[in-house]
Structure 1
Amino acid sequence: MSDAPLFSHTTVLLHETVDGVLNDPSGIYVDGTFGRGGHSRLLLSRLAPDGRLIAIDRDPEAVAAATTGATRIDDPRFSIVHSAFADMRAQLAALGLAQVQGILLDLGVSSPQIDNPERGFSFRFSGPLDMRMDTTRGESAADFLARADERQITEVIRHYGEERFASQIAKALVARRESGQPVRSTDELSEIVARAVKTREAGQNPATRTFQALRIHVNAELEELEQALSAALSLLAPGGRLAVISFHSLEDRIVKNFIAEHAKEVVDRRAMFAEPKPLALKAIARIKPSDAEVSANPRARSAVLRVAERTDAPLPPVHHKRRRGE
């Protein structure tokens, strides 16, 4: 049984996501972000006896929640893999699967990750400045800040946090490090950012954007998302559905542009009267949480669900981007 403490999680856009992705109850489905299994459990309840669900999560605590203790899922139709969702193509190939009927991704950080001080995701709690979704590998946020130069820190905070005081924050962090006291805790980071940010957005902690930026960088979230979307498109069978929940503009822009790119007819300008190349995806829906859901779960307020369906058109040539560290 896992020794990890239990933290509650309210699944965002639960029914809307399962309704959007489920197109064949007898099909094979992938939950690329198991978390604490809200989407997976509802999807399993609606699958036929011959359906199948493969869950993926890079967080060892999420995998433990699915396989041990009171939260364990005991269902022969279900299995879970400890992996980043960007590697879903390889993980499914290892299971002998080349196509699936649906893939869902619930992006960002989960409530159990945010609410556990030891994970270092939140400025609301005192804890080590870790921020890794997979605690078994990679560089923590504290390690990054201990080695990166001022320009690198500025770029990360400005690009991933869209923080206009990025250079001031980076300068303060480097000055702190050069004084012999590098930032190692969430408290220390919050205090430095609060002093560097001169004006604050109403209702928002001044450290919000910096914490978001470091988390995205440490986990290579946007690169992983691009890889995952490409993998999903190649795995979906005709009629299969892709459902993605985003929580900030950088994620949603990637998802929106990916769907638009593959749901757009392409005309060959060298042969103006030729038939347009067929579409690989068809956009189905864009859904925001209801007022009632936001009232009950304020963390849902920025969520956007996009659903697309795979057509029977051939895929365009794939140009793989190398992920950081490869």
Structure 2
Amino acid sequence: MRKTIATALAAMLLVTGCGAEVSDESGGATPPGYPVTVTNCGTPLTVRKPPARVVTNDIGITELMFALGLGDRMAGYVVDKGQSAGVASSPWKTEFGTVPHLAEKINREVVQGADADLVFAGWNYGFSEATGFTPDALAGLGIASYQLTEACRNGAGKQRGIMPPLDALYTDMRNLGKIFGVSDRAEKMIQEYRSQVASVAEAIPHGSPTPKVFLYDDGRDQPFTAAKNAGPDEIITKSGGENIFSDVDDSWTTVSWEAVIQRAPDVILINDYGGEVGSVADKENFLRSKPGVRDIPAVRKGRFFALPYAALVEGPRNASAVVAFGRYLAGLRG
């Protein structure tokens, strides 16, 4: 029964990519301005009507929906308990308390149980071949997918990222604006975010030094960090810094401690998950104790700055993250 309902709802969506078409079985009239088509990760997605039962995965993706005022279009969201601090600090905390929290891990049963007509997730943000939870698998259930642009595969194996991270954010906002009929709201927010980011760049004195920055997410044997296609890359560069792994054509990825030591960052930006385990203090203490790493300029000088996970992954907190980190780097310039 649930699959039947989900399929009927998904019939509002016309998915085109390989010539496939899902017919509209709902019998309802097509609203003015529809159907609309957007390009998502290189594939056209056409909707006949605004989706009505969206399931989102992860905090940044969910906040994108809330920021656009689309909570009433959601069947629910999936975030794990490790993101509870991010939810508590969210500008959309009220919406998180109103829209159903469906589960801590997304899977087919969760989205079918919610009668989802669209799943908004991304590769390594819910979608994974290892778990069998993929856009193709959902299509087989009659459920459409929208993929987070920051996490689009770029054609080199499983590497992710097809455009600069802030462009990915703006692309998703524009696409969602078209899909849900809120383009004016989306464009207004994009201009606000662009203005915030530009104000930071304009305040950087001409000719001032550009500190080298290492984003430390986690990892003891090998560090997990942000390459050029992940949100922190432009958060760092637009703030007046240089991401030491901006030459790596990937999104979030694993590197080596030897590479970190060799590139000698002046500042370490820490991804704060907000949990008791792996806290900012734990990460700082680890970096101060690790041979070689403790001797790099950032650690020797105690130049650590933390931003919450929800501000570093693609989402509506990115612009404010640029402002906060830009203020910190400005303080270092004296």
TM-score when normalising by structure 1:
0.30
Higher-RCO chain (CA-CA 8 Å, sequence separation at least 6): 1
- What is the TM-score normalised by the length of structure 2? 0.29
